[in-house]
Amino acid sequence: MHIPDGYLSPITAGTMYVVSTPFWIVAVQHVRKALTRRTVPALALFSAFAFIVMMFNIPLPGGTTGHAVGGTLLAIVLGPWTAVIGVSVVLAIQALLFGDGGLIAFGANCFNMAVVLPWVGYFIYKVISGNSDIASKRRLVGAVVGSYIGIVVASVVAGIELGVQPALFHAADGTPLYAPYGLDVALPTMAIGHLAIAGPVEAIVTGLVFFYLQKSQSSLLAKTEEPRKEGKLWIVWSAALVVLAFATPLGLLAAGTAWGEWGVGELKDTLGYVPKGLESMAGFWKAPIPDYSVPGLGNVPGYIISALIGLVIIGVLVWLLARWISHKKSSGQKPSVKGGSAV
């Protein structure tokens, strides 16, 4: 679902930055108010989890691939505004370090996966779960259904963004300048792949983790603090993420490229030409570890090393960001006064 640079016109890409920016600003404000001692490590770990699940590519109809996101799970556990921050950081590292998605298209990717997906998923979850008990089946059903609908809606939005490009931006002879396929192709392709495959995978992943939290770490879902239990949780989650990192080469078994993420060479082989605007913008940023491939290593070792590097960077970066927000929150609070003295 990542949109690479060149597939959106500069006008569309710029517009999506403008649309996403208010969400980032409000998200920081909300996280600052809601931040607690438990939120900092939880945000780092669940953001790292979102990164790692995106590395497990799965085959979709038509020879393309897709992946889960984990945004709804993050929204359920830590709140949708916190999910906006966490998923945005993940997408930024993917684009900057691995060339997955684009810097020019970053605003659009964040709107789709860090705003639409977690907010839609969280809304459905709240509607279904209502005021039910934390351990109730209603909450589990809400998490599963919400995550499924969230990723499908996000894919539809991405399909619309890509599909309108040929109609809005084309050469005098009608040749597309950016994304080459119109709404009649982009929208159903994105929707069907996520309705049939990526959506169920997202729902299963979310459901399994949510079920585990219900049974073993309900304090996270209840938004209560139990330091001893949560300390164990961070150790378990960190170990689980490392194990998943070593399992990520399973994502290499899915043949093909994600729809709408073709390279210039692939487009030329398929279409017989490369849209001029796309060609000029493709490769705008030279990622140091492109396509999760470490120079000098084979595909499997390189993918594992990339996963471990991404986990560490995202975990540390999100933790530092949350600590920075926490510091801003603390320094902005006025000391309470009692008996004429600050205490």
CB atoms < 10 A from the CB of 234, how many? 14
Domain for residue 263, yes or no?
A: yes
Of 6, 3, 34, which Cα lies nearest the Cα of 186?
Answer: 3
Check: CB of residue 138 under 8 Å from CB of residue 128. yes
CA distances from 114 to 31, 44, 83, 91 (A): 15, 15, 7, 8
pLDDT at residue 230 in the model? 57
Backbone angles phi and psi of 64, in degrees to 5:
-105, -175
Domain for residue 126, yes or no?
A: yes
Of 244, 222, 219, 254, which Cα lies nearest the Cα of 233?
Answer: 219
pLDDT at residue 221 in the model? 80
**Residues 143-192 pLDDT 10s:** 999 999 999 999 999 999 999 999 999 999 999 999 999 999 999 999 99
Here the CATH number for the domain that contains residue 79 is 1.10.1760.20
Domain for residue 300, yes or no?
A: yes
pLDDT at residue 262 in the model? 85
Residue 7 and residue 108: Cα distance in Å, rounded?
11
Domain for residue 27, yes or no?
A: yes
For residue 58, the SS3 value is strand
Task: Give the chain's radius of gyration (CA, Å).
Answer: 21
Burial of 294 (0-12, 13-18, 19+ CB in 10 A): middle
Domain for residue 334, yes or no?
A: yes
Residues of the chain with pLDDT under 70: 35, 37-38, 63, 223-233, 325-343
pLDDT at residue 315 in the model? 86
Check: CB of residue 244 under 8 Å from CB of residue 298. no
What would the two tokens of residue 192 be? 């069907």
- Domain total in the chain: 1
CA distances from 305 to 70, 87, 246, 249, 289 (A): 21, 21, 9, 10, 10
What would the two tokens of residue 209 be? 């983790």
Domain for residue 4, yes or no?
A: no
Domain for residue 5, yes or no?
A: no
pLDDT at residue 342 in the model? 37
Enclosing H/E stretch for 172: none
Return the beta strands (E) in the chain as ranges: 58-60, 64-66, 337-338, 341-342
For residue 170, the SS3 value is strand
**Chain position carrying tokens 């378990």:** 236
Q: Which domain holds residue 103?
A: 10-342
pLDDT at residue 66 in the model? 85
Domain for residue 1, yes or no?
A: no
Enumerate residues 6+ apart whose C-beta is below 8 A from 272: none
What would the two tokens of residue 262 be? 């073709």
For residue 56, the SS3 value is coil
Give me the amino acid identity at 11. Answer: I
Residue 62 and residue 85: Cα distance in Å, rounded?
33
pLDDT at residue 159 in the model? 95
